[in-house]
Amino acid sequence: MTTDPYEAERQKAREYLRTRGTLVLAPQIRERVGAAFDAFESLAGSVMTDLAARRALPGEWTVHEVVDHLLESDRAGLDELRCLVAGRRPPGEPIPAALQSKDPGSRPWPWLTRELARVHRDILETLDGVAPEFTTEARAPLIMVTYARDGAGGTVPLHWIEDLDWKAYAIVFRLHAIDHMNQIKKTLAAAGAPGAR
């Protein structure tokens, strides 16, 4: 019997990755990841440079910083995905959960959105190159981040390292894009952007 009050939340996340990643056919993984990338890029591409740099919520990332984070983490994730589909465990430590470039604000917004789209194309090309029947024992460590209810009606962030097979790892790209797309929508709404909700 575990004494961890949040183990049920961790198990729920593991089951999600198993049923939406590990057990899903490779072409469906690619389709779902691609749809999330398209939606994220469409949203980010609709944001003007000055609005992307505006800090609408104290202590929260700007839209510019969110896209910088996604670029840095997805670029590193692409390297790890390539290892997995080559049947190897990626070397080194897991990708940091809040990875950003050294100076996100110095990167021009149009370049940032184009570069993210390029990395996304590379991820999708990598997934396109995986044979539908491909399996491997290789796993990659990934820092899982989710939120759980605390006993007082609030939420607490949960962080832990989980070893993922290549399909579970790939579906995390989808989850990550959706999570940060929702973050951008929240930021735009706080900034009073037209059409934001």
| CATH number of the CATH domain containing 22 | 1.20.120.450
Residue 108 lies in a domain: yes
Query: What are the pLDDT digits (tens) for 148-158?
Result: 887 788 888 89
pLDDT exceeds cutoff 70 at 196: no
With vertex at residue 176, the alpha carbon angle to CA 74 and CA 117, rounded to the nearest 5 degrees, is: 45
Render the burial of 15-39: b for 16+ CB within 10 Å, e for the rest.
Answer: eebeebbbebebeebbebbbebbee
pLDDT exceeds cutoff 70 at 2: no
pLDDT exceeds cutoff 90 at 81: yes
Residue 96 lies in a domain: yes
Residue 138 lies in a domain: yes
The residue-averaged pLDDT of 21-34 equals 97
The residue-averaged pLDDT of 86-112 equals 97
Residue 143 lies in a domain: yes
Residue 92 lies in a domain: yes
> What does pTM read for this prediction?
0.93
**Which pair of tokens denotes residue 94?**
């897991």
pLDDT exceeds cutoff 70 at 197: no
Residue 122 lies in a domain: yes
Return the number of other C-beta atoms located less than 10 Å from residue 166's C-beta: 27
Residue 67 lies in a domain: yes
Query: What are the pLDDT digits (tens) for 55-66?
Result: 999 999 999 999
pLDDT exceeds cutoff 70 at 177: yes
* Average pLDDT of the chain, as a whole number: 94
Domain tally, the chain? 1
Residue 1 lies in a domain: no
Q: Is the separation of the CB atoms in 62 and 55 below 8 Å?
A: yes
Domain span holding position 72: 7-190
